[in-house]
Structure 1
């Protein structure tokens, strides 16, 4: 029986726990290189997330995130049943470049404001008209939360999908500590936010919708 080969069990466990809360049936792909292993997963709102942990890993294998989390929680070393056919998403290129730094506190504020707006609209609608929660959620996720313009380069749009990914996966760090700085990265057609505890990626070829954000008491 194959071993998962992960040494950074607390880090892997934190990633898997967050992931399975968002998607209990999620597959996770483990890709190993140089004594470390990157865990990859696709969130329900079409964003790839990854966290690198210590350990030689299994090479390249896809398993159930829930099953791997259970093995790690029990102190086991075996790799769960492989589910390689469940992985259907391309990965961004290995080489990427940083184009801008962003305050972690600002990312946390943007994520919280969007969540508050979703609650308000779901409860009261828009101008008194009821709106489907799915439609509101998708519109908020497609909203361009930030635009950064690197020196000598084209503007880079960061959608709320990426902001929500780094916030809800805990990549900005514990809530009771000051959020560390994050970086916007570009790799080919991919745009990512690299935060202290993980990276969120999305292909920029997706059409993003710019919409005004309703006012929110917390900004």
Structure 2
């Protein structure tokens, strides 16, 4: 198994995101997917939202789940364009991912408001709507996850976007994003 990310800066950006994921959940898993000379990284969080980022590169096999701590160790120690991301743990991935939707930007949360929103979330709960615009009702858990990841770092606003079909919400915070399914998952009882 190989993760190939030619640029050292891109590998460092991936390591930064994975490091933040591991700080939130040391037992987290990361799903790596290749498409069109880009590798996408997906990870769950304790806030029931996904973290995602991309970099030019590829992973072989093209869709694999690894331990976040193993990937972080490889990205931190191996200074080469190709590395072993860790052993596959595909059976540990739970949940679906958005396809390749077009994202419609519906607004932006000013960076200075993120902390205040998180403080209100303590009183209102993680599922309370803490921000609205353009048909998007952002639950506290999404903004808490942004803050939990240590974003935004540069004072830039957090961009809020909806997938073209409205099924997913995305909060972009610099080089990574928080993504959440907007429609409740249905449980099928057999």
Q: TM-score, normalised by structure 1?
A: 0.72
- Equivalence for 1:22: 24
Counterpart of 1:72 (choices 71, 75, 80) is 75
Q: Does 1:96 align with 2:74?
A: no
RMSD of aligned alpha carbons: 2.2
Say if 1:184 and 1:193, in contact at 8 Å, map to a contact too: yes
- Equivalence for 1:203: 181
- Equivalence for 1:32: 34
Which of the two has higher C-alpha Rg?
A: 1
Output one character per residue of 1:15-42: Cα deviation in whole Å (capped at 9) or x when no partner: 1110001110001000111222110011
Identify if the C-alpha distance between structure 1 residues 9 and 183 changes in structure 2 by more than 3 Å, giving closer, same or farther: same
Larger strand fraction of residues: 2
Residues paired across the two proteins, number: 177
Q: TM-score, normalised by structure 2?
A: 0.82
Deviation at 1:107, TM superposition (A): 4.7
- Equivalence for 1:105: 111
Counterpart of 1:186 (choices 150, 163, 188) is 163
- Equivalence for 1:42: 44
Counterpart of 1:165 (choices 140, 145, 151) is 145
Whole-angstrom distance in 2 between the partners of 1:205 and 1:39: 22
- 3-state SS of 2:2 partner: coil
The aligned runs of 1:67-146 (5 Å cut-off) are: 67-75=70-78, 77-114=83-120, 118=122, 140-146=125-131
Structure 1 gap segments, 5+ residues each? 119-135, 150-154, 208-219
Whole-angstrom distance in 2 between the partners of 1:12 and 1:66: 13
Deviation at 1:110, TM superposition (A): 3.7
- Equivalence for 1:152: none
Identify if the C-alpha distance between structure 1 residues 73 and 104 changes in structure 2 by more than 3 Å, giving closer, same or farther: same
Whole-angstrom distance in 2 between the partners of 1:47 and 1:53: 20
Q: Which runs of 4+ in 1 moved over 6 A?
A: none
- 3-state SS of 1:141 partner: coil
